[in-house]
Amino acid sequence: DVQLQASGGGLVQAGGSLRLSCAASGFTFSDYNIGWFRQASGAARDRVSCISPSAIGISYYADSVNGRFTISRDNAKNTVNLQMNSLKPEDTAVYYCAAFRPSEYACSGYGFIERGMDYWGKGTLVTVSS
């Protein structure tokens, strides 16, 4: 069975840092783009960041997190990490990881869209207090 498990959420003060992890199993992890979305209470789900397979070597960041968040992958551990620094109250949301095939949708501003995701994990809550 395909599984994507997000972890690392929690409560942090504004300006602080958190590191989210997405552990994957049940598919060929190294062949897939992995992305992070987030959904604040009462809002639509927004894309945050994605990373392509290592052979392609691309990452994408939404404007709202560019320069503060860093995405990385460890194919040996089937894990993608999202290092979140300089957190703001507006970063408060449930964060979801998802996997999608680069042959169908690219990890880019055009390709990283909800309907392009093949697999979704359950979310992890990030709360940033002011």
- Please provide the average confidence, as pLDDT, over all residues in the chain: 97
CA 65 – CA 75 distance, rounded (Å): 24
Over 90: is that where the pLDDT of 114 sits? Answer: yes
**Long-range own/partner contacts, residues 66-71 (CB < 8 A, 24 or more apart):** 71/36
Q: What is the mean pLDDT of residues 111-121?
A: 95
119-120 and 45-51 as β-strands: parallel, antiparallel, unpaired? unpaired
**Residue-level pLDDT at 103:** 87
Query: What is the 3 state secondary structure string of 56-73?
Result: CCCEEECCCCECCEEEEE
**Residue-level pLDDT at 91:** 98
pLDDT digits (tens, 9 = 90+) for 59-106: 999 999 999 999 999 999 999 999 999 999 999 999 999 999 998 899
With cut-offs at 50, 70 and 90, classify the pLDDT of residue 48. very high
| Exposure of 15 in the CB half-sphere (CA atoms within 13 A) | 1
How many residues appear in the chain? 130
